[in-house]
């Protein structure tokens, strides 16, 4: 079974703090994704990575950065957390080789910025 894990289920941070959200997958997937989910707005793609050290902006990258130093790990970084970044953050991964494959999600991290 594919397993995608996220470092925290719940996180509370203060405005201005630097926040790291970690995601790890155990199936040697090339593609990894970070989404945020907000009521009424659905799932929105923040960043994705095709492979190690490769990243591409999604639909809402402002205020975020990412790091993919190893294939199994994809980190989302909030350089200076703000209250409008309070949200549910979901990581996903998928194998790829030029065709479409099934995407798998982690359990999510509920981040509150106060």
Partner 1 sequence: GIQVEQSPPDLILQEGANSTLRCNFSDSVNNLQWFHQNPWGQLINLFYIPSGTKQNGRLSATTVATERYSLLYISSSQTTDSGVYFCAVGRTMEYGNKLVFGAGTILRVKS
Q: What angle do CA 30, 33, 36 make, to 5 degrees?
A: 170
Q: How many residues bind partner 1 (CB under 8 A)?
A: 26
Q: Is 90 in the site for partner 1 (CB under 8 A)?
A: yes
Q: Is 48 in the site for partner 1 (CB under 8 A)?
A: yes
Q: Is 28 in the site for partner 1 (CB under 8 A)?
A: no
Q: What angle do CA 54, 59, 60 make, to 5 degrees?
A: 95
Q: Which of 45, 52, 60, 77 binds partner 1 (CB under 8 A)?
A: 45
What is the footprint of partner 1 within residues 93-112 (CB under 8 A)?
94, 96, 98-105, 107-108, 110
Q: Is 88 in the site for partner 1 (CB under 8 A)?
A: yes
What is the C-alpha R_g of the chain? 13
- Is the torsion defined by CA of 68, 70, 72, 73 positive or negative? negative
């Amino acid at each position: 079974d594919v397993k995608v894990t996220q470092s925290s289920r719940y996180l509370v941070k203060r405005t201005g703090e630097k926040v790291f959200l970690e995601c790890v997958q155990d199936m040697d997937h090339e593609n990894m994704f970070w989404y945020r989910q907000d009521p009424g707005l659905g799932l929105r793609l923040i960043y994705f990575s095709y492979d190690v050290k490769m990243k591409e902006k999604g639909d809402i990258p402002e205020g975020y950065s990412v790091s993919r130093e190893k294939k199994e790990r994809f980190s989302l970084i909030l350089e200076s957390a703000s209250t409008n970044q309070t949200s549910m953050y979901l990581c996903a991964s998928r194998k790829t080789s030029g065709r479409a494959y099934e995407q798998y999600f982690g359990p999510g991290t509920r981040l509150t910025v106060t």
